[in-house]
Structure 1
Amino acid sequence: MKAYQQGWTLRRRVVALLGVVLVLLLGLAAAEATLAAKNRQNIDAVLLKTGPLRVQAQELMSALLDQETAVRGYAVNADRKDLEPYQVGVDRERDTFAEMRKLAVDYPEVLRALDVVEQRAAQWRSGVAEPVISTTERSGPSAGRALITDQTRQQFDGIRSAVDGLQGEILEVRQKTADKVKATSNVLVVLLIIAALVVAVAGAVLLLSLDRILIRPLAGLVGQVREVASGDYRHRIEGSGPPEFRLLADDIDIMRQKIARELDEVREARERIEWVNSQLQKQAEELTRSNRDLEQFAYVASHDLQEPLRKVASFCQLLQRRYSGQLDERADQYIAFAVDGAQRMQRLINDLLAFSRIGRLTTGFTEVDLNKVMGDVAGQTEAARQYADAELTWDRLPVIRGEEPLLTNLLANLVSNSIKFRRPDVPPKVHVSARLVDDEWEISCRDNGIGIEPEFADKIFVIFQRLHSKDAYPGTGIGLAIVKKIVEYHGGRVWVDTEAAEGTTIRFTLPALPEDVEAARAAEQAAVEESTGDPETTGDGAEDVAVSVARQPDGAGREETPEGAARDGTTGGMKETVG
C-alpha cells in the first residue's frame, strides 16, 4: 500500500482551523468576561452606591433643617417639646454620616465634601444652636431670639451650600460611573460582533475547504465506485484530495481487484457447477431408469421368483413328509436344510419387498387413531402372545397424521420383537405409552425381555443386522430396519433408551397435530395456575397434561384397567389380556 507522507490530512486541517477559531473565541470570551465583570461593578455602583448616596444626602439636609427649625421654635416659645426634633435631627445626622461614609468609601471627592458638611454642621451647632438653647433656658425667649441674626442665618446657608456641593460631587461620580457602564456596554457589543464575524468567517472558510478537500474528491470517488458497481470491475479507482481519501481509494481498488478475482472464480465455479449439474442430470436419468428396473425386479421377485421358490419349498416338504425315515439320516438332514433354506428365502424376499415399498407405494396421510392401530396389532400378535403367555398393555394413545398400514406394521414389529426376545421362564410384558414433548409425540414400547447392550443400540436398526444367531431367535433381521424407515418416513426418529432399568425400551417420535399441541399448552398453563404452592402437584404435571390431550380410544376389544400394568408415568391405561 502506498504511504502518503506529503500534505496535511483532513483531520489535521480541520483541527488546525478549529484550533484557531477556538483560540480567537476564547480570547474574545475572556475579554468579554472581564468587561462584563467591570460593567457589573459599575452598574452596582450606580444602583447600590451613588443612588443611595443621593438619597442619604437629601436625608442629611432634612435632618439639618429639622435641627435649625427646632432651635428657632425653642427660641420663640421656650418650650422643651420644641427641642425634640433637634435631638432627633442630631441622631439622624450622625447615622446618615455613618451610612454615607460606608457608601462613599471608593469616592474620595464625595468623602471630602462630606467632611466639609460635617464640619460646618458642627460649627453651626457649637456657634449658634447650643448658645441659643442655653441662653433661652437662662434668660428667656427674648434673649434667645436676640442671638439669631443674619450672620447665623448665613452660617446655616453655608451648610446648605456644602450639602449642595456634596450633591454635586455625588452626581458627578454617578455620571462618571454611568459613562463607564455605557463604554463597557459598547465594548461588549463590539466584542460580540467580532465573535460573530469570527464564527461566520470560520464557517465560510470551513465550507469552502470542505467543498474543495472533501466534497469534490468524495464525489469523484463515488462516481468511480458506481462505475465499478455497474459491472466495470476492470476500472481502476484513483483517489484525490487528502491522504485519507487516497488511502481509501487504494483500499477500495484492492477490494475491487479481490471482487474481480472472486468473480472469475465464480464464473469458473459456475461452469464447473453446470458441468456437474449436467452429470447429475444424467445420473438422475440413470437413477430413474434404475428405479424402474428395481420396480420391475420387485414385481419379478414378488411373482416370478416366489412361484418357483414355492414349488421348491413345496416339493422339499413333500419329500420330507413322504420319504422321512426311508433314506439315511444324512439324507433327512439335507432335505431339512433345503426346506428351511427355502422358507427363509421366502420370508427374506417378502421382508425385502415390504422394506422397498415403504414410502414408494403410498395411500396418503390421514388422521390415524393409534388406539385402533394397537387393537389391530393385538389381533395380529395374538397367536404369538398366547404361545409365550405374553401380556400386551397400552395407555391412551394420540391421533396423528400418517399411513395406517405402515403404522400398524411399525407397532406390530416392535411388539413382536418384544415377545420374541423374552427371558426364559419369565412371561413377557409389553407396554406402549405416549407423551407430548414440545410439538412431537414420543411413543415408547417397553418390555421385560433380555435387553440390549448400549454398544449395540445403534446397530439394531441396520438392515440384516443380527445380535443373535438364527437358531437362538428366528427372523430375517430386517424388522427394526423397517421400523426405522417407517418412523423417518413420517418425519420422526427412533432410538433405544439405554437407561432403562429392565428389558428394552424403544422410543420413537411422530409429529403431533397442532390442536393437540395447543390443548396441551393450555392445559399445562391451567395446571400450573391451579397447583401454585402445592408441592404434590407440581412434579410430573407436565407429563400428565401431555398424555391427557390424547384422544379417547374406541375401546373395541379392550377393557378399562385403572390399576393395570405399569403406566410409564401416564394415566388411564388399556390392557389386552389373553383368555
Structure 2
Amino acid sequence: MTVQPGRWAVTPQPDNWTLRRRVVRLLAVVSVLLGALVAAEITVAAQNREHTHAVLDRTGPLRDQSQELLNVLVDQETAIRGYALTGDQRELEPYTQGSAREQALYRSMGGLISAYPALVPKLDTVRAQAAQWRATVAEPVIRTTAEDGTGAGRALITDETAKRFEAIRGSLADLQEGILDERDKGAAAIYRTSTLLVVLLIVAALVVVVAGGVLLVSLDRIVVRPLTRLAEQVREVAEGDYQHRITGAGPPELQQLAGDVDAMRQKIAKDLTEVREARESIEWVNGQLQKQAEELTRSNRDLEQFAYVASHDLQEPLRKVASFCQLLQRRYAGRLDERADQYIAFAVDGAQRMQRLINDLLAFSRIGRLTTGFTEVDLNRVMGDVAGQTESARQYADAELTWDELPVIRGEEPLLTNLLANLVSNSVKFRRADVPPRVHVSARLVGDEWEISCRDNGIGIEPEFADKIFVIFQRLHSKDAYPGTGIGLAIAKKIVEYHDGRVWVDTETIEGTTIRFTLPALPEDVEAAEAAARAAEEAADHEPGDGTEPTGDGATGAEPPRQAGPGRRRGPTGPRTATARVT
C-alpha cells in the first residue's frame, strides 16, 4: 500500500487468474454441488414413487379385497344356514358364486401380497381355515339336508361350527390389521421421502443463491470496479486530454483491454495532428469544388438557354430555306433536268428533317424547365388523347390500340400525354410488314409505384441494344427504313425521370417489344393495396387455396415486382380499345 499526502492509494497486485478461469472454477463447483443434489433428488424421488406405488397399487387394493373376502365368506355361511332351514336350492346360489369369487380373490391377493412376506402366512391361514370349514361344515350340511331333510341339516349346525367360522373372521381381521400396518409404513415412507425432497430443493436453491451472491460480489470487485475506473480514464481522454495515460487493474483481460485502449489513444492523438493538417486542405478543396459546382450550374443553365435560343433563332432561316425549296419544287418541277429535280427534293427533305430535329431538341430542352405544376392526372383520359393524336398513323398502318383501366397519378398531363404518345407511335412505326400492329397499355401496382407497360407485336429489340435506344439521336435503323429523329425515346426517358420514375425494356418479351416505366403511386392507392392484401391473407387463412397470386399483365420485367395490388378510382373492368381500320 502506498501512502500519499491527503489520500490513500492502493497499488494493485498482479493477478494471474483470468476472468474466464474464475468463472469456470465457480461454475464447476456449483455444477458439482447441483449435480450431487440432482442425483440425490432423483434417488429420493424414485423411492417416493415406489412407496406411493405400494400404498396406492398394493396395500389399498389388498385392504379392499380382504374386506370383500370377508363379505364373500359371510355370504357363504349365511347361504348354508338358509339352505339348512328351508332346503331350497336357490338359497345355495350365494354359496356357489361366493366360492368362485373367493378363489379369484385368493389369486389376486396372492399377486399383491408377495411384496409383503409377513402377510403371506396370514393369507394362507385364512385360505386353509376357509377350506377346512367348507369341507367339515358346509359340504356335510348340504349333503345331509339334501338326503335326510332340513332337520338333519340343522342338527349339524352347532356352536362348534360357529366357532370355526369365527376363527376365520379372526384370521381375516389379523390379515387386515397387517395390511393396515404396511399401509401406515408406506405412508410414513412417503412423508419421509417427500420431506427429504423439499429439503434437497431448499439446499439446491441455497446453493444457487449463494453462488449468485458470490458471482455478483466477485464481478463487482473484479470487473465492475476496474471497468468503472477505466471508463473514468476514457472519459478524461474523450474530454480532450489526449495525453492522459490509461492504466488498467483487475484480471488480465481488463489489463489487456486498458493497454489496447491506451494504444488506441496514442494512435488517435497521432492521427489528430494529421487530421488538423488535412482539414485545412479539405476546406480549401471544398471551396474549389463549390466554385466549380456553381460554375457548372451556371454553365448548364447557359447551355439550356443556348439550346432554346439557338432552336428559335434557327427556325426563321430554316423556314425560309424550306419554303423557297418547296416553291422551287412546285414551280420548276419537270422544267429542269431530272438531276436538278433530285437535288431540289434532297434540299426539301433535308430542310424538313432539320425542322423536325430542331423541334424535337426544343421539346427535349423544355422538359423540367417549363413546368405547369403537378396535378392529379387520370391516365385513362390521357390515353384517350393519345388515341386521337395517333389516329392517322394507326389508320395508315391498320393498327389496333387497347388499354386496361389505368390509375390516377400526380404529374404534368402534357408531358405524360407526350410520353405515352411517343411510346404508342414507336410501337406503330416499328411494325412487321405482314402483321397488323397491335399495341396494349396496362398497369399494375408494385410496392409504392405504378408499373406501366406498353406492349406491341412489332419487330422487337435485341437485348444488347436495350439501353442504347434511350440515348438522344441514337438510331438502330437507317432513316430510310424507319423515319424519325431518334429523340423520341430520349424524351420519354427524360419525362419519366422528371416524374421520379425509371424506364426500361423488358428483354424477356418473346414477341414484339415491351417498354415498362414506373410512376410514384398516390398514398391512398398504396393503403388500399395493403388493405386488400391483408384481407386476402385473412380469407386464405380460413379457406383452402392453391397458393397462387395474381401476376399483373403476365409479363416478366427486367426488374421483378415487389408487391401487387389494386389501385384507386378504377372504373369497370376490361380493356378499352381504340382501333383504326383501312376500308
TM-score normalised to structure 1 length:
0.57
User: Given the alignment of the two structures, is residue 365 of structure 1 paired with residue 380 of structure 2, yes or no?
Assistant: no
Partner of 1:551: 569
Instruction: Output the amino acid matched with 1:316.
Output: C
Contact 1:431 1:446 survives alignment (8 Å): yes
Q: Is the 8 A contact 1:418 1:430 kept in 2?
A: yes
Out of 493, 517, 525, which is 1:508 matched to? 517
1:436–1:543 Cα contact (<8 Å) kept: no
Deviation at 1:548, TM superposition (A): 5.2
Partner of residue 332, structure 1: 341
Mapped partners of 2:454, 2:305: distance in 1:
36
Asked whether the equivalents of residues 397 and 550 of structure 1 are also in contact (C-alpha less than 8 Å), the reply is no
1:441 & 1:361 partners in 2: Cα distance? 25
Kindly state the Cα deviation for residue 350 of structure 1 after the two structures are TM-superposed. 1.4
How do residues 341-352 of structure 1 correspond to structure 2 at under 5 angstroms?
A: 341-352=350-361
Deviation, structure 1 residue 472: 0.3
Are the counterparts in 2 of residues 491 and 511 from structure 1 also a CA contact under 8 Å?
A: yes
Question: Could you tell me how far 1:307 is from its partner in structure 2?
Answer: 1.0
After superposition, the C-alpha distances for 1:87-145 in whole angstroms (9 at most, x for unaligned) are: xxxxxxxxxxxxxxxxxxxxxxxxxxxxxxxxxxxxxxxxxxxxxxxxxxxxxxxxxxx
Measured in 1, the distance between the counterparts of 2:228 and 2:245 equals: 16
For the 8 Å contact 1:519–1:549, the answer to whether it is kept is yes
Say which SS state the counterpart of residue 287 (structure 2) adopts: helix
| 1:432 equivalent in structure 2 | 441
Q: Report what 2:326 is aligned to.
A: 317
Cα offset, 1:236, TM superposition = 3.2
Aligned AA (2:567) = V
Distance 2:254 2:289 in 1: 50
Q: Which has the larger radius of gyration?
A: 1
State the partner residue of 1:573: 575
Match runs of 1:85-484 below 5 Å: 221-239=230-248, 246-484=255-493
Q: How many residues were matched structurally?
A: 375
1:430 Cα offset (Å): 1.0
Aligned match of 1:9: 16
Any conservation in 2 of the 1:312–1:342 contact (CA below 8 Å)?
yes
Percent sequence identity over aligned pairs? 78
Structure 1: unaligned runs, 5 residues or longer: 1-5, 27-198, 554-559, 561-570
Between the aligned partners of 1:207 and 1:504, the Cα distance in structure 2 is 76
Contact 1:528/1:538 (CA < 8 Å) preserved in 2? no
1:2-30 Cα distance to aligned partner (Å, 9 max, x none): xxxx94436499969x99xx9xxx9xxxx
8 Å Cα contact 2:460-2:512 kept in structure 1: yes
Instruction: Give 3-state SS (helix, strand or coil) of 2:443's partner.
Output: strand
Cα–Cα, structure 1 residues 288 and 253, in superposed 2: closer, same or farther, change >3 Å?
same
Q: Which residue type is aligned with residue 540 of structure 1?
A: P
Q: What does the per-residue CA deviation read over 1:371-429, in whole Å, with 9 as the maximum and x for residues that have no partner?
A: 00001111111111111111111111110111111110110000000110011132211
User: Partner of 1:233: helix, strand, or coil?
Assistant: coil
Tell me which residue corresponds to 2:98: none
Instruction: Summarize deviations over 1:309-356 as a string: whole Å, max 9, x none.
Output: 111211222222222333333333222222222221221121112112
CA shift for structure 1 position 445: 0.8
Q: 1:249 to 1:316 in 2, by over 3 A?
A: same
Change in Cα spacing, 1:235 to 1:538, as seen in structure 2 (3 Å) is: closer
Shift, 1:226, TM fit: 2.6
Distance 1:264 1:470, change over 3 A: farther
- 2:442·2:553 contact (CA, 8 Å) conserved in 1? no
User: Contact conserved, 2:528 with 2:568, CA < 8 A, in 1?
Assistant: no
- In the TM superposition, what is the alpha-carbon distance from 1:296 to its structure 2 partner? 2.8
* 1:395/1:432 contact within 8 Å kept: yes
Verify the 8 A CA contact 1:494 1:509 in the aligned structure 2: yes
AA of the residue aligned to 1:577: T
Q: Deviations over 1:219-247 (max 9, x none)?
A: 66444323211112233334567765554
Q: Any gaps of 5 or more consecutive residues in structure 2?
A: 1-12, 34-209, 555-562
Distance 2:548 2:19 in 1: 69
Q: Is the 8 A contact 2:394 2:579 kept in 1?
A: no
Cα distance in 1 for partners of 2:232, 2:549 equals: 69
Structure 1 stretch displaced more, 403-412 or 295-304 = 295-304
CA–CA distance in 1 between the matches of 2:503 and 2:228?
Answer: 63
Q: Distance in 1 between matches of 2:365 and 2:405?
A: 32
8 A Cα contact 1:497 1:506, kept in partner: yes
Q: Structure 2: how far apart are the matches of 1:460 and 1:243?
A: 67
**Which AA in structure 2 matches 1:413?**
N
CA–CA distance in 1 between the matches of 2:277 and 2:375?
Answer: 48
Question: For 1:415-457, what per-residue CA distance to the aligned partner results, in whole angstroms no more than 9, with x for missing partners?
Answer: 0001100111322111111112222211111111111112212
- Cα separation, 2, equivalents of 1:379 and 1:417: 16
Distance 1:527 1:243 in 2: 60
Whole-angstrom CA distance in 2 between matches of 1:537 and 1:221? 59
1:146 aligns to what? Answer: none
Distance 1:247 1:359, change over 3 A: same
| 1:306 shift after superposition | 1.1
Is the alpha carbon distance of 1:251 and 1:350 closer, same or farther for their aligned partners in structure 2, counting shifts above 3 Å?
same
What SS does structure 2 have at the residue aligned with 1:500? Answer: coil
Q: Is the 8 A contact 2:442 2:452 kept in 1?
A: yes
